[in-house]
Amino acid sequence: MPTKCYQVDELDQAAQALRQGQLVAFPTETVFGLGAIANNEEAVKSVYQAKGRPSDNPLIVHIAKAEDLFRFSGDLSSEVERGARRLVETFWPGPLTIIVPVRKGTFGPTVTGGLQTVGIRMPDHPLTLSLIQKTGFPLVGPSANLSGKPSPTCVQHVLHDFDGKIAGVVDADPTRIGVESTVVDITHPGQVYILRPGAITEKDLQKALPEIEVTDATRVIQSDSLEHPKAPGMKYRHYSPHQEVYALLPEELMKTLHSLTLDEKAKGAVIARDQVLSQCEGFAKTFSLGENVKTATHGLFAGLRAFDDDDQVQILYVEQLPDQAENRAYRNRLSKAASNKEGLPPRS
């Protein structure tokens, strides 16, 4: 049965499908999520099955009311709760997931990946907030793509991976931000750890919490965190199209592209900002990441998906950005997708 595209006036139908344990993809400001009602273990298991997602990769719970963060949290110290409330007041609804101790009996182990913590966020999208309210309980919502593939930023991406495999998708415009939410762990008094970079940066968080130390843990992840990940995207390779992906800084990218033979160029596509693309002679297939960091981050997943159905393209040459704070989210996603970890591709 084809996957139904629910229109704005059909959210009640989408909510009914979710209450019945079916899967419905929904839009957010970041990427599209694959929704299931979070208090139905069988429905949540079907999310893992549909995506081919490892069972120890925890899911993020999406809520429609900010106060629900504290309703579903376990005991928080007064210091941690003050910090959490300030984050909520500053950034919600928005692209920030907050990891808290989970209240016993609230969500099953399938949601939390067997951990004693849970990631919760309030998305900044009116259709999804309405959908959650109509469903009557929060939704899990990992990115609505096959596990390991680039996250979906439009309805067409969702249908490419799941048409006929899920009940429906809420129809909406392409997402505004284009990469998943920032994930922070606030379970340690006096400390906030960034477990996944996103649109909300370390600088943003430190400004909101001046008396608390904010640490970008993605740069110092310990082996135990990889074995028992608290947040999606920490342990497994992600965001990879079927082609080889080579992430190269602009100067190195241009040097590599200019050295390719005509045959090698015919088998490749270039994904880069406009300044780089303007110097790419001989490439018929390119994807523009716009002019700056914001447009590049917004367009990255769409670029990685742009040649999904082109069997001729075997290698994607993608512009990497310098290691600077404002580039963290982009670099994190591209580095996880890359085949080369920023080295030069092998020559045939």
Here the tokens at position 195 are 């477990």
**Same domain flag for 220 and 270:** no
Per-position DSSP letters for 113-129, written without gaps between them? TT-SEEEEE--S-HHHH
Is 162 within the bounds of a domain? yes
- Cβ atoms of 237 and 148 within 8 Å: the answer is yes
**Same domain flag for 327 and 289:** yes
* Nearest-angstrom CA–CA distance, 185 and 21: 29
The beta strand positions in 87-236, using DSSP E, are 96-101, 117-121, 139-140, 168-170, 182-185, 191-196, 213-216
Is 41 within the bounds of a domain? yes
Do the bridges between strand 139-140 and strand 96-101 make them parallel or antiparallel, or are there none, so unpaired?
A: unpaired
**What's the number of domains the chain is made of?**
2
Domain that holds residue 214: 4-227
**Same domain flag for 95 and 216:** yes
Is 346 within the bounds of a domain? no
Is 236 within the bounds of a domain? no
**Same domain flag for 323 and 204:** no
Binding site for ATP, by residue number, is 53, 57, 117, 143, 151, 196, 239
Binding site, by residue number, is 30, 53, 57, 62, 117, 121, 143, 151, 181, 196, 239
* Nearest-angstrom CA–CA distance, 129 and 127: 6
Write the CATH number for 146.
Answer: 3.90.870.10
Is 272 within the bounds of a domain? yes
Residue (of 148, 149, 157) closest to 32 by Cα position: 157
Q: What is the dihedral of CA 53, 237, 197, 44, to 10 degrees?
A: 0
Name 190's Cβ contacts closer than 8 Å, sequence gap at least 6.
79, 212, 213
Domain boundary among 195, 227, 259: 227
- Cβ atoms of 300 and 334 within 8 Å: the answer is yes
Domain boundary among 227, 256, 285: 227
**Same domain flag for 15 and 56:** yes
Domain boundary among 227, 261, 289: 227
**Same domain flag for 28 and 135:** yes
**Same domain flag for 118 and 261:** no
**Same domain flag for 43 and 188:** yes
Q: Is 86 exposed, middle or buried (0-12, 13-18, 19+ CB in 10 A)?
A: middle
The distance in angstroms from the start CA to the end CA of the chain is 44
Here the tokens at position 90 are 């500053």
Binding site for L-threonine, by residue number, is 30, 62, 121, 181
Query: What is the block-wise mean pLDDT of the chain (348 residues), using blocks of 10 residues?
Result: 96 99 99 98 97 90 98 95 97 99 93 94 99 99 95 98 98 98 96 97 97 89 51 60 94 94 94 95 92 97 95 96 95 90 53
**Same domain flag for 118 and 21:** yes
Write the CATH number for 289.
Answer: 3.40.50.11030
**Same domain flag for 222 and 249:** no
**Same domain flag for 139 and 68:** yes
Is 258 within the bounds of a domain? yes
- Predicted pLDDT at 218: 86
Is 213 within the bounds of a domain? yes
- Predicted pLDDT at 224: 46
Here the tokens at position 151 are 């996250």
* Nearest-angstrom CA–CA distance, 139 and 147: 19
Residue (of 201, 197, 199, 204) closest to 231 by Cα position: 197
- Predicted pLDDT at 223: 45
**Same domain flag for 174 and 127:** yes
- Predicted pLDDT at 66: 98
